Amino acid sequence: MTMDLNDAQNEVVHTKDGPILVVAGAGTGKTNTLVHKLAHLVKTGTNPESILLLTFTRRAAKEMLGRAAGILDQRMMSVKGGTFHSFCQLFLRRYGHSISVHPNFTILDEEDTLGFVGMARDQIVTPNTKQRFPKKETLAEIFSTSFNLQISLDKLIQKEYPMFIGLTKEIQEIKTKFIEFKRKHDALDFDDLLDFTRSILMSDETIREKMASVYQYILVDEYQDTNRIQAHIACLLASKHQNILVVGDDAQCIYGFRGANVRNMLDFPKIFPNTKIIQLTENYRSVQPILDVANAVLEGSKENYKKNLFSNKPKLLEKPFLVKLENLEEEAEWISSLLLELSENGESFSDMAVLFRAGYSSHLLEMQLTAKKIPYRKYGGKRFLDLAHIKDTIAYLKVIENPKDILSWNRILLLEDHIGKKYAHLLYKQLETNHFDYKNDPNFFLGFPEQTKLSFVKLLECLHAIPKEQSNPYQILEQILTHYLPILENTYDDAEKRKPDLEALRFLSKKETNLTEYLSQLVLNPVEGKEIGSLDDKENEFVTLSTIHSAKGLEWKYVVTMQVVEGILPNHRIKTVQELEEERRLLYVAITRAKSTLYLTYPVTNEKNRFTSVSRFVSDLPNDKDLFTKWEKLQNQENTKKEKQSQNDGSPDPFQSIQNYFLN
């Protein structure tokens, strides 16, 4: 027995042969267990070079082997550890010849891949093509997603890219050209590394047996994040001896959009019928009240490994908080005030995190944090004002506010059809010469193509439709967006995903009455981390703002999960039971990031002033009163108002009291 491991962890370490599935709940010490497992294998006589450790980052493999060496000795550094892609590239350099892959092939990085896709696109999409085609970046994403999800281009385009349904044949032709370019130039992209390795392991028994003799033990970390191809490769490597140990948490499978498939965990015992399933359920991160909520959320899942996380940490009476707020603005204000209060009570900003389902959910909060001088860093999506479509929209506002803003003119001119850099420059010069009025000069468009003129006039008609005396930002934005939304759809292949950001921009403008003030507030960009400095100048202290996806594997003392409402979590775009279950797992991941205190917040109305309801994952809990301390801003405001009224009834006027004291 290893003294610093619990019974379940020790069982993992000391079970040597055969297939093992370790279902490791959040915060249950899976990495420590794997490290001891590796050390124990070598300690009991296994040749370290016959162990293959597959992880999702090179750093994770290096760290695990380093820790194992600390337990045992430097023999651990001979274990073959790395990512699926690194293993596959070494495998193909040795065995790729069996499917005509040259051993000195080039591995394409993201930029190289885009270059090849662009070359293929140029052969199909000519200057005379009348239809709008997806950009090379979108095409590369379509090809890779199709591979990782193992679905046809046709099905993927119907589901995720309906605007290109009529172009499926041409997109398939571009893919064919892309593959031809790669083959001609002995180049493989990341997907090819997996695809070709699996192909060889499936078709060549001699090579499969060779691999079994070289790697007698296969260990896979974060198995819930594997896609079907990666899981297939791992199982093929172990098909001869079946000495495969996979570690993961089905309840943390949240990367379905990348191809991660929860079935890899759930169906593992079907692939290897003699699988030993070991559950790790003792949590070393969170206090029990937080785990009670996590367990309850998982209980509603349709299909999973039933587990009940428990903690031996000192028990706290404080339950997680379920906070009901009036609207999105109130939510942002409440969260920022909470963070400030915690800081003033001596807590470090670095111990605090605010999590959200989608990047755009934090836009209002970012403004509040900036106003309160609370340092933060955002992970999982760009900061609000760095988004290209937000910059586009603000450029229109800047031109209205200041017609001499050459940079903003340049930006909005280049968004128009038939206006390139040359004509954008010439048009601005003409505007400047004519004091920003094109109607007074009959020769204004002399030398300009007719199509350029039409595009420019259409833009100016939009700007001139706004009365000069109008300074209400919300109404101005309404006018601008009628012009800009068609441009958005024509400019960005993922326009639908960008539209909620524009809604947030409109929402930010609702309470502003002056365009100058509104722009001033927006353009004072939030600064990150130590640039702004915390209240007591502790260097590197900052609140973490993060999407739940980017927060996986991390932990904080205080965690706020915001906008836990229908339409956000779960997302309104979900269509299947499988997608709904992944949304449930997202909330589980968010909850289990908290060590001591958890807040779930939900506004009563959304950015369109429509009523919302708390997420079904919370409202469906049968014992929510036992799980949460409920807090309502609306109710508290009403109570406070009544208290003040009762205190003031019959009491002297405060002003009069002051006067009486100082003057009498």
Feature table: binding site: 24-31
What number of H helices and E strands is found in the chain? Answer: 29, 17
Report the C-alpha gap between 260 and 585 in whole angstroms. Answer: 13
Burial bucket for residue 663 (CB in 10 Å: 0-12, 13-18, 19+):
exposed
Sheet containing 594-603: order of strands:
376-379, 543-547, 352-356, 556-561, 594-603, 321-325, 629-632
- Could you tell me the end-to-end alpha-carbon distance of the chain, in angstroms, rounded to an integer? 83
- State how far the Cα of 30 lies from the Cα of 222, in Å rounded to an integer: 9
d(CA 579, CA 571): 9
- Rounded to 10 deg, the angle between the 328-344 and 363-371 helix axes is 40
Q: Are strands 244-248 and 217-220 parallel, antiparallel or unpaired?
A: parallel
Nearest to 188 by CA among 58, 84, 94, 101: 101
Whether the CB-CB separation of 356 and 563 falls below 8 Å is answered with yes
Classified as helix, coil or strand, 410 is helix
CA-closest candidate to residue 396, choices 455, 510, 478: 478
Alpha carbon distance 471, 400 (integer Å): 10
Helix (H, G, I), strand (E, B) or coil at 492: coil
Neighbouring residues of 456: CB distance < 8 A, sequence distance ≥ 6:
413, 416, 419, 427, 438, 445, 448
Rg of the chain over Cα atoms, rounded to whole angstroms, equals 30
Binding residues for ATP: 24-31
Whole-number Cα distances in Å, 522 to 52, 398, 519: 52, 11, 5
Angle made by CA atoms 205, 210, 215, in degrees to the nearest 5: 125
Assess contact for 583 and 548: CB atoms under 8 A. no
Pairwise CA distance, residues 12 & 21, whole Å: 9
The helix-helix angle for 110-124 and 136-149 (nearest 10°) equals 110
> Which SS3 state, helix, strand or coil, does residue 125 take?
coil
Give yes or no for a contact between 53 and 79, defined as CB atoms under 8 angstroms apart. Answer: yes
Neighbours of 573 (CB within 10 A): 10
CB 545 within 8 A of CB 359: no
Preceding omega of 570 cis (within 30 degrees of 0)? yes
